[in-house]
Chain A
Amino acid sequence: MINIEKNDAGLYVIGNEFFSAEENTRGTRDKFWLVPGQESSYPRMLFKCNRSEKTCENWGEIIASAIASRVNVPCVTYVGASVLENGEVKTGVICESYKNNSEISELSGYSLVSAVANHIYDNSIDMFYTGELNTVDGFINCINQYAKFMECEIDANEIEQCRNDLIKQALFDFILLQADRHWLNTTFLLAKSDSKISITKSKCYDNGCICFLKRKLEGVQGISTQIKAEIRKRKQSDSLKYQLEKYIPFFGIKTTLVKFDSKTYSHNSMIPRIVSCGDPEAKEMFLEELTHEILNNPEIAHFYLGLKQKLNYSKETKTLDLSDIFQSLQTPQDIIPEGVEYLVNQIMNYQVNTIDELIKVKRAKIVQQKEIEDEEQRSV
């Protein structure tokens, strides 16, 4: 836990170092940049305050970044922090920027979608782009449209790598039940060299809303206790199953271009503002997309198997074992609230089993299909 204190001169102090503050206007959470002095060896750091003292979002950030680091998903590292300001203590997390080079430009999903939408408007192009962006390929198509509109060349291999990185992030999000992966929470980094533009996906950030940890602590503990009681009685939790079947979070990039205000047809309303995957069908499609990638894309298959292995998956019990990760995060000063570890464990195991079951069904269908084809060939 890093303790930060605001002094009488309005500067923030960490140990013997002084930082000035710069506001960060993104998102809904109270947050600001800590800017070090010119001679300081510290980087710029972002302090993100919990929405309320009673939520576990700080632990969401810390746990997600520890798991990401274990399974090789590039992610900003979050550390617990508190700020003492005007006699009030704010709890949250601190992290470095995902952009470590000021020469690199960033293109958030929001800017990307807005640029494409504006280009359509400015050039009076009919709304030909009616594709939903709630698939990775929909979003990748948007990058291609962007490059075309801006008359710049982006290497196809780099776009393919961005696609794979997005799918890995989407899988990671699904397994951790990420509820906040909207278009401002996915960014690409652009650098210009000669006439070409190089594009990479930035590290993951803003992962606090995993595994229901956005809820208040008593809510988290309530669900956790209920699941524990059900499993003790019946070896499975109906309430967890119910919660996860009913729950439709913003997995992956769930953005749409078609929900603009067609009545006013104004410049403003052309900018898509609704982030949604709010129906069970979209959720099903998302799972379908992920399992399709695992079965057909070697890089993603390798990533998924590696993820399970690195999280100590046991074939016998069909469970992940995250205890070593939780142990490494806990110190006498930073005690993970009761119920959090249990809930994260249960949710991640449920999600991995959901993926595995669908893969099993799909594989069985492929085998069946193959047998039918072989049979037909034999009879011919």
Chain B
Amino acid sequence: MKIALYIKELTLGYLEYNNNYYFTADESNIQVAFKKYPIDMMLFSLNKAQTKEYKYVPQNFLQYLEATAREDLRLKADIKDEDSEFVKLYKLAGLKICPENFGIRQA
């Protein structure tokens, strides 16, 4: 299971979970995005290394994690209490979501 992080038409990388969170960056798309969408990309802070490990949910996914608590979205995405944090996020990413600065979708 992978969750893609994107801005407009560009995928910036993929989030996976295996005890810790791993974000694999798409370096070339990130470079394009910095040129094409400089203001929005000011808020992007994951491009330090091609693969980055996180103990907690990375910042760009945080608002979406908070949204997994919302009743209407839980119902639409079939999110259950017993789902892990990552599975909740993955299920949410399966919905058609209007993106904030950065969008998520199932990959």
Contact = CB atoms under 8 A, between A and B. Distances in A.
Interface stretch (A18-26, A168-176, A288-296): A18-26
B39 A114 contact: no
Contacts of B43: 107, 111, 114-115
Interface of chain A, helix or strand or loop or mixed? mixed
Contacts of A268: 55-57, 59, 62
Interface stretch (B10-18, B25-33, B93-101): B93-101
B45 A122 contact: yes
Contact of B100 (A21, A26, A30): A26
Interface of B: 37-40, 42-43, 45, 48, 54-59, 62-64, 67, 70-73, 76, 92, 95-98, 100-101
A91 to B, nearest CB: 14
A23 B42 contact: no
A30 B95 CA distance: 15
Contacts of A111: 43, 101
Contacts of B38: 192
20 contacts: A22-B97, A23-B96, A25-B64, A25-B67, A26-B100, A28-B70, A30-B70, A31-B72, A49-B72, A110-B63, A114-B59, A115-B42, A122-B45, A152-B42, A190-B39, A192-B38, A192-B39, A267-B58, A268-B55, A268-B59
Contacts, number: 74
Interface of A: 21-26, 28, 30-31, 33, 49, 105-108, 110-111, 114-115, 118, 122, 150, 152, 190-192, 197, 266-269, 271
A33 B103 CA distance: 15
A150 to B, nearest CB: 5
Nearest to B104: A25
B55 A266 contact: yes
Contacts of A267: 54-56, 58-59
B55 A23 contact: no
Given A28-B70, A192-B39, A23 B101 contact: no
B96 A21 contact: yes
A38 to B, nearest CB: 16
Given A122-B45, A122-B48, A271-B59, 11 more contacts: A23-B96, A25-B67, A25-B73, A30-B71, A49-B72, A105-B37, A105-B39, A107-B39, A114-B43, A114-B62, A271-B62
A266 B96 contact: no
Contacts of A152: 42
Contacts of A30: 70-72
A265 B57 CA distance: 14
B63 A25 contact: yes
Contacts of B67: 25-26
A25 B100 contact: yes
Contacts of A197: 39
B56 A105 contact: no
Given A111-B43, A111-B101, A22 B96 contact: yes
A23 B56 contact: no
9 smallest CB-CB distances across A and B, nearest first, come from A268-B56, A25-B67, A30-B72, A105-B39, A22-B98, A23-B97, A150-B42, A190-B39, A105-B40
B39 to A, nearest CB: 4
Contacts of A26: 63, 67, 100
A348 B7 CA distance: 43
B56 A266 contact: yes
Contacts of B45: 115, 118, 122
